[in-house]
Structure 1
Amino acid sequence: MATILKPKALPQGARFAIVSPASTPRPDKVEQGITALHALGYRTTLFPHALDKGPLYYAGNAAHRLADLHEAFANPDYDAVLCTRGGWGSAELLPHLDLAMIADNPKPFLGYSDHTSLHAYLLKTIGLVTFYAPMCAADFSRPDGYDPASWGHALGGSSNWSLTAEDGLKMLRPGYAQGQLVGGCLSIYNEALGTPYAPALPDGPTILFLEDIGTKPYQWDRYLVHLRYAGHLEKAHGIVFGDMSQNVPEAEYALLEKAILHALAEFKGPIAIGLRSGHVDAPNITLPLGIQAELDLTAAPRLTYLESAVS
């Protein structure tokens, strides 16, 4: 894995480049999200292909989506790159990314779900710290769709801040771990394994964050067994799972937790669940990926970032 590269903190009145590297967003949701961003004092530019429809479910062809993403990083007028929504499509861009240009113009890259492929590959190749974070159409369009505290800490330069039970964190297995926080959407993360774009195992220990949507207990079990067989848990010292309300009804939570613990019977580190980041219907928590964190499940559950995510 490359040496860690941190983007600059968001300045006051930051301008966001709004792009769609994956699927087509609803225009009304994008407009609502932009209105909310403006109310927070930010400026925005909606990129030329962000609302494109097709081919298929994509927001334009791969060349158009790539052009928007490259311009968002290359143009100094923009302070951060914000995705409209996930869906499917980011993986198509990976072989064509201008990594040298992005490394020369590091900016906060914000999104989740399908954008896990971009998070993992940018960390692996150029060491860029990115943000598993609320998106324009998916979250800022909703009342209380983003979590102000984690957004401010992550993008403002706080060097020691924590997420706790108030953020949904619950203990599944006690213990203590420290390492580089990596991860994202479980299905996207897993499907990259065995390809040149697979998430990298860093030199040191990791804390693995995993979440998803519409994934049943047996599927969580299967994905985790795949991670284990692929050797991807060898560097993991702790695991944090996301909020499960978008996967199963509350009546099935117990079964899902049992499935997770069954798949991780040989994993000895601490395990937490319930963190409200990614696919949630609550204020979405911003997680920096690529920096050092501490998972303490010896008493009240706490995930603490040990360094700033921005320069």
Structure 2
Amino acid sequence: MTRTNGLVRPPALGRGARLAVVSPASTPKRELVERGLAELQALGYEVVLAPHALENGPLYYAGGLQDRVKDLHTAFADRKIDGIVCTRGGWGSAELLPHLDAELIRANPKAFIGYSDHTSIHSWLQNEANLTSFYAPMVAADFARDEGVDLKSWRHTFDGDSGWLLGAADGLRVLQPGAADGELRGGCISILAAGLGTQYAPVLRDCVLFLEDIGTKPYQWDRLLLHLRYAGRLEGVRGIVFGDMNQCVEPEEQEMLERAILHGLRGFEGPVAIGLRCGHVSAPNITLPLGVPVRLDLTDAVNPQIHFPEAAVRA
């Protein structure tokens, strides 16, 4: 197994790779899943829908707890499956964490792809299974949308490219200049904050932190950042990248949100960017490999960059 900065890299996902489609959280709409599956097949992937991926379980869950755990374990254990992609987020992934088999997953490293509620699984995979994972488009949420997926970053990531960049064309803007190197971590800030005080709290040492969310107002961003700071989770952070805030506030509130973020980060000396179109976006969704080394260079306001010097997957 090949490692990147301490974490295991899963195999690449080239044309013909077989993807298991799972729903660790909420039940997706069947028609959106079918549309997303067709798009993945058009891109050259084989797709296998997990038994409970469309199930209407208790409350809003895609099956019961053990059903969702079984689907995920089966996808990791099946040698014919090359990668795992989620249908949607919602709520429910955190329920799985005490029941996940780290030994099984470490023995079968594969790309786990999803965002939003699956932030908790990403943190668990990094901390417990020592595995790189991917904050990236989902079947019903993105592949089902017209131009819902940023194929350039998807291909750079899963083809195993190194030396690629994200920048101003991807929405990146400078809030606080500077440069930093570190391992990329993070995800949905409300899910990260919910893990504080538990054994599943995010580990954020020597990292560049990516944060995004949906429906989160300026005062809530301020509060969540204060929560992370009081919990000591920003002490090992070298730089921060915030996502596209168009799903959080209206354009006229953007300035207030940025001021709230900088207020919440007062005293933080590293570089800070905002606007990256990853996660909850209405534009093509960018793929971010988590657990890989990156360089965040915000020394030039016109040309901000996130540089990925190493491949996130192995050939």
Q: Which residue of 1 aligns with 2:97?
A: 94
CA root-mean-square deviation: 0.9
Equivalent residue of 2:7, what SS? coil
Equivalent residue of 1:172, what SS? strand
Question: Is the 8 Å Cα contact of residues 161 and 311 (structure 2) preserved in structure 1?
Answer: yes
* TM, length-normalised to structure 2: 0.97
Are 1:142 and 2:145 an aligned pair? yes
Measure the CA separation in 2 of the matches of 1:195 and 1:3.
24
Measure the CA separation in 2 of the matches of 1:201 and 1:163.
22
Q: By how many angstroms is 1:234 displaced?
A: 0.6
Q: By how many angstroms is 1:3 displaced?
A: 3.5
Equivalent residue of 2:24, what SS? coil
Q: Trace 1:77-226 onto structure 2 (pairs within 5 A).
A: 77-202=80-205, 205-226=206-227
Deviations 1:38-75 (A, max 9, x none): 11111101111000112000001110000000000000
Q: Trace 1:42-53 onto structure 2 (pairs within 5 A).
A: 42-53=45-56
Measure the CA separation in 2 of the matches of 1:28 and 1:120.
30
Measure the CA separation in 1 of the matches of 2:241 and 2:175.
9
* TM, length-normalised to structure 1: 0.98
Q: By how many angstroms is 1:125 displaced?
A: 1.2
Q: Which residue of 2 aligns with 1:72?
A: 75
Letter in 2 for 1:185: C
Q: Which residue of 1 aligns with 2:28?
A: 25
Letter in 1 for 2:304: P
Letter in 2 for 1:212: D
Measure the CA separation in 2 of the matches of 1:201 and 1:42.
34
Question: Is the 8 Å Cα contact of residues 3 and 126 (structure 1) preserved in structure 2?
Answer: no
The percentage of counterpart residues that share the same residue type is 59
Gaps of 5+ in 1: none
Gaps of 5+ in 2: none
Letter in 1 for 2:190: S
Measure the CA separation in 1 of the matches of 2:293 and 2:150.
21
Deviations 1:167-226 (A, max 9, x none): 000000100001000000000011001101111133xx1100000000000000000000
Measure the CA separation in 1 of the matches of 2:119 and 2:204.
15
Measure the CA separation in 2 of the matches of 1:149 and 1:201.
28
Measure the CA separation in 2 of the matches of 1:151 and 1:309.
11
Letter in 1 for 2:83: A
Q: Which residue of 2 aligns with 1:291?
A: 292
Q: By how many angstroms is 1:12 displaced?
A: 2.1
Equivalent residue of 2:238, what SS? strand
Q: Which residue of 2 aligns with 1:270?
A: 271
Letter in 1 for 2:180: A
Q: By how many angstroms is 1:11 displaced?
A: 3.0
Equivalent residue of 1:150, what SS? helix
Q: Which residue of 1 aligns with 2:254?
A: 253
Letter in 1 for 2:240: I
Equivalent residue of 2:165, what SS? strand
Measure the CA separation in 2 of the matches of 1:133 and 1:310.
14
